[in-house]
Amino acid sequence: MVCKMAMFMDLNISFTKDKKTLQNIIETAAHLGYSTVAINYTLESQQKKPEIPKPASISDLFDKLPVVQGRSRPIKVLNRLTVVATDPSHFRPTSEYKLFDLVAVHPKTEKIFHAACMTFEADIICVTVTEKQPFHFKRAPVNGAIDRGVFFEIIYTPAIRDSTMRRYTIGNSLGLMETCKGKGVILSSGAEKPLELRGPYDIANLGILFGLSEGDAKAAVSTNCRSVVLGGETRTTAFGIIHTVKKPPSAPTPSDKDESGETDNPASKRAKMEQ
Amino acid sequence: MSPELERCSRNLLICEKSNFRDERARYDIHVSKHFFNYKLSMVIPECASLPACIAGVIQTFSSYYRVRDLPVYKFLQEDILQKVVKNGHFYALSYNTRIDEDNTIAFLPSGHLIMSVNKDTYEQLGLEGKPSQYTHRKVQRYVVNVDLTDKSMTPGAKTYQRLITSLKEWVPLKSDFLISMKMTAEDDGGALQTLLSQYSFEEYRPTLQTHTLKETPCPSLHSSNLHGDEKSCDAHRFLEWLGAVSMDISCNNEASSFLSTYVCPEPWSSMSQGLLCTVTGFLIPEDIHSLLLELRHYFDQPKFTSWLSITVHGFADSPVSWGMTEHGFLKGGENFYNFVCFENQDYWLHMATGSHDGCPP
């Protein structure tokens, strides 16, 4: 089921083979109040024969998912693939990509950045934060990405680890903000250790440092992430209209929902007429 | 540094000065309109222990209930609606629901039902509402305000039926609730008890904590100088001091302290002892009003202090702050008011709200 609300999400938690660390990070995220996290698998395309990683099953990781702080519901864990691309041929949406809930692309050159914004079937475009961005963010591709519903991601852990990285993070993100005006940005951690995570409200504050306004910064950890997840869900469907699912065990099926939607409209008309 | 970084997020503070004996004083209205309060803290300088009469009033505070997974439509059933919700002293607020993430529901004593819901729920509900005032770029939240005392909301009427169908069949909204009700002579809360007994619920009493402050610097206040001058301190700095005192932050500004460099605002005098008393719970305005009446009589006998203060904090996740003004949570969701009562029955009233909030009355 889709997450309906503007809940806090961290859509980038680095995958490690160390199961214990990964569990710890997710538990910390749940404790900090994140309702959804995504485990990130990176595909370095520069290698000769890149092998698309297989996402690990969540049920292997946890018998019982940790409960979000102050809530009764468990945290939701997604899988995400980040393709680091130096050449347009590196990003090839194959059926292996479909195993992931989210697909991100990390463009290394201006040409690929342009292609990622305008044509790639991705949900997220990563912004380089560990070195100076080698190109300028042009208005046309950035606006194109915003119109297509592709989001730019800024990760904050390098900025916590190291002061030089912090300078690059702030510099590159201010460069992006100049063009995108705070629209279509998400903030996520990229954490490799539990201690690198920060609470959602702290990150919203940190976003101000990256050139976002207060409202944009909060949207960057909540509503924008929701759009990304919803976008990721529709990517596996036919035009976001037809979606095949395994037969659910009990009553609430998509057709029920449609019916209630239909009954909505005439009823509200009636209410208006009464006044 | 960029100018945006130096800017503090928006907040509002309203200060007024009046006298309790003044007929035009509106303090009781302001108190009764601030519906959902979770904490009150009193600071009484030069006082060693809580006076028996004040402790007595706190003892009479209404108890409150926490009920789990209660469907909202249950409140709208005919007998509950007539006997409980519309009796004028009924308060209910959804618990563990966050105003910026979840659907939040509140029943006001005026007989209004306020539902602050996200876009998806709103569209499924099919009830008439308004987009939230504190919308960022796209509307993600709507506020549905239903006047249950209205003629169209009498059980059996068309609009009433629609509301029930929405909440019962289309979107069976349910939530944990905090419920409190001032018992009146003709009503002993029987109907409410019957409703609660169908669900798992607990009854709570407001908890009282007292703490004695020793040798604390304390700002000097003069009732005539609300805005502060060289003889007394201004409202912002006074509230900051109150916050420091209630959080037990040292005001000494010792060179060796790395934790706090906070200093008591000038001019100050040292108080040998003071009382900090905190009551937490689901506190209803009626009780706070009776406590305020008692505090006015504190100065009937001569005292060493010329003022005392009481601060009342509202729930950060309540959908309303004062009256039906919409309340939101950007970073803090603070909404509170503070009375400084003086010997001569003058009072200062400070009302403050955070970024996503209307102006206090």
Residues of B in contact with A274 (CB under 8 A): 152, 158-159
How many domains does one find in chain A? Answer: 1
pLDDT of residue B228: 67
On whether both B50 and B178 belong to a single domain, the answer is no
Residue B360 lies in a domain: no
On whether both B169 and B36 belong to a single domain, the answer is no
Q: What is the pLDDT of residues A9-68, one digit of tens each?
A: 888 888 888 888 888 888 898 888 888 888 888 888 666 666 777 777 777 778 888 888
Q: State how far the Cα of B235 lies from the Cα of B309, in Å rounded to an integer.
A: 12
Q: Which two tokens stand for residue A195?
A: 């201690």
Cβ–Cβ contact A218 with B under 8 A:
yes
On whether both B330 and B226 belong to a single domain, the answer is yes
Residue A102 lies in a domain: yes
Residue A1 lies in a domain: no
On whether both B274 and B263 belong to a single domain, the answer is yes
Q: Could you tell me where the beta strands, DSSP code E, fall in chain A? A: 9-14, 36-44, 76-85, 102-107, 124-126, 151-155, 185-188
- Rounded to the nearest 5 percent, the helix, strand and coil shares of chain A are 45, 15, 40
Cβ–Cβ contact A227 with B under 8 A:
no
Q: What is the pLDDT of residues A194-216, one digit of tens each?
A: 888 998 889 988 888 888 888 88
Boundaries of domain holding A218: 9-274
Q: What is the pLDDT of residues A67-121, one digit of tens each?
A: 888 777 888 888 888 888 888 777 777 777 778 888 888 888 888 888 888 888 8
* Residue A1 scores a pLDDT above 50: no
pLDDT of residue B3: 66
Residues of B in contact with A222 (CB under 8 A): 100-101
Residue A159 lies in a domain: yes
pLDDT of residue B93: 92
This model's pTM is above 0.90: no
Q: Average pLDDT of A118-128?
A: 87
pLDDT of residue A5: 63
Would the CB atoms of A216 and B136 count as touching at under 8 Å?
A: yes
Q: State how far the Cα of B318 lies from the Cα of B327, in Å rounded to an integer.
A: 7
Query: Across the strands, what pairs with B208?
Result: B279
Residue B361 lies in a domain: no
On whether both B152 and B253 belong to a single domain, the answer is no
Residue A264 lies in a domain: yes
3-class DSSP state of B110: coil
**Minimal CA–CA distance to A122: which of A177, A85, A70?**
A85
Last residue of a domain, one of B204, B222, B249: B204
Q: State how far the Cα of B309 lies from the Cα of B241, in Å rounded to an integer.
A: 12
Residue A134 lies in a domain: yes
Cβ–Cβ contact A208 with B under 8 A:
yes
Residue B74 lies in a domain: yes
Residue B145 lies in a domain: yes
On whether both B157 and B210 belong to a single domain, the answer is no
On whether both B283 and B175 belong to a single domain, the answer is no
On whether both B234 and B348 belong to a single domain, the answer is yes
Q: State how far the Cα of B76 lies from the Cα of B153, in Å rounded to an integer.
A: 10
Last residue of a domain, one of B147, B182, B204: B204
On whether both B129 and B47 belong to a single domain, the answer is no
pLDDT of residue B4: 65
Residue B359 lies in a domain: no
DSSP sequence for A128-181: P-SS--SS---HHHHHHHHHHT-EEEEE-HHHHH-HHHHHHHHHHHHHHHHHHT
On whether both B187 and B241 belong to a single domain, the answer is no
Boundaries of domain holding B329: 3-61+206-353
Q: What is the CATH number of the domain that holds A119?
A: 3.20.20.140
Extract the residue ranges of chain B whose pLDDT is less than 70: 1-5, 185-188, 228-230
Which residues from B are below 8 Å from A when comparing CB atoms? 2, 4-5, 9, 96, 100-103, 118, 120-121, 123-124, 126, 128, 136-138, 140-141, 152, 158-159, 162, 170, 330-331, 355
Interface subset of A 51-80, CB within 8 angstroms of B: 70-72
Q: What average pLDDT does chain A have? A: 80
Residue B358 lies in a domain: no
Q: Average pLDDT of A166-184?
A: 88
3-class DSSP state of B171: coil
What is the band of A272 on the pLDDT scale with cuts at 50, 70, 90?
very low
Residues of B in contact with A173 (CB under 8 A): none
For residue B127, what is the nearest residue in chain A, using CA coordinates?
A268
Last residue of a domain, one of B172, B204, B236: B204
Task: Determine the Cα angle at B36 with ends B33 and B42, to 5°.
Answer: 90
**Minimal CA–CA distance to A113: which of A81, A90, A80, A79?**
A90
How many domains does one find in chain B? Answer: 2
On whether both B217 and B341 belong to a single domain, the answer is yes
* Residue A274 scores a pLDDT above 60: no
Residues of A in contact with B123 (CB under 8 A): 261, 264
